[in-house]
Amino acid sequence: MQNLRKDYSKNALLEEYLADDPFIQFQHWFSQAVEEKVLEPNAMILSTRTTEGVDSRTVLLKGVENGQFIFFTNYNSHKGQQLLNDPHCSLLFLWLQEERQVIVRGQVKKLNEAASETYFKTRPRGSQIGAWVSEQSKPIANRGELENRLKVLNERFEEKDVPRPKHWGGFSVFPYEIEFWQGRSNRLHDRILYSKGEKGWTYARLQP
């Protein structure tokens, strides 16, 4: 592992090309990731606080609007309970193909039920039923038990609309910091940190 090295030289992140609004900057980078066919560009590592320390896992971004990053989950899962107990979290987007990453630091709030209902109706039917099948993060004896639940619930909702479980819905992350990282040669990377204050967003360059 010590000999695994890559020199980053694909792009630069210079102040003269920065947007004043970090959400505009994010959308610009995200659009480029989509255009470059980055695998799962909306995948992000969500880190939460626990009583013992920190927990992390990958979730999918489902929207960026009105100054918030939106994702959906089971509120009874480990991450759901951790966020309900302590709203501080971070999101990490890693787009290796673009030699870029974005870190979002902020606090979450539960998305209102109407917005969760609207999104749930757009999900594939299998994913809708899956939200009922899995008691996310709870132990289960074996895979067969999960598949049996799926069979039962497929029969239960046959030829019916699948309602949204009350334990399933969205979270909105309201950032107070968004950091953009662009890989550069010799590990002298570009790092721009946007911080939210009383007068809005400002940014500063950080040493790599």
Residues 68, 90 contacting (CB under 8 angstroms): no
The catalytic residue among 57, 125, 187, 205 is 187
Residue 197: phi and psi, rounded to 5, are -125, -170
Question: How far is 199 from 208, CA to CA, in rounded Å?
Answer: 27
Q: What is the dihedral of CA 54, 38, 121, 47, to 10 degrees?
A: 10
Residue 187 bears catalytic tag? yes
Both tokens of 169, joined, read 């819905």
Q: CA 94 from chain center: how many Å?
A: 11
Q: What is the dihedral of CA 33, 36, 42, 48, to 10 degrees?
A: -60
Handedness of CA 109, 110, 115, 121 (dihedral sign): positive
Handedness of CA 202, 23, 60, 66 (dihedral sign): positive
- Positions marked catalytic: 187
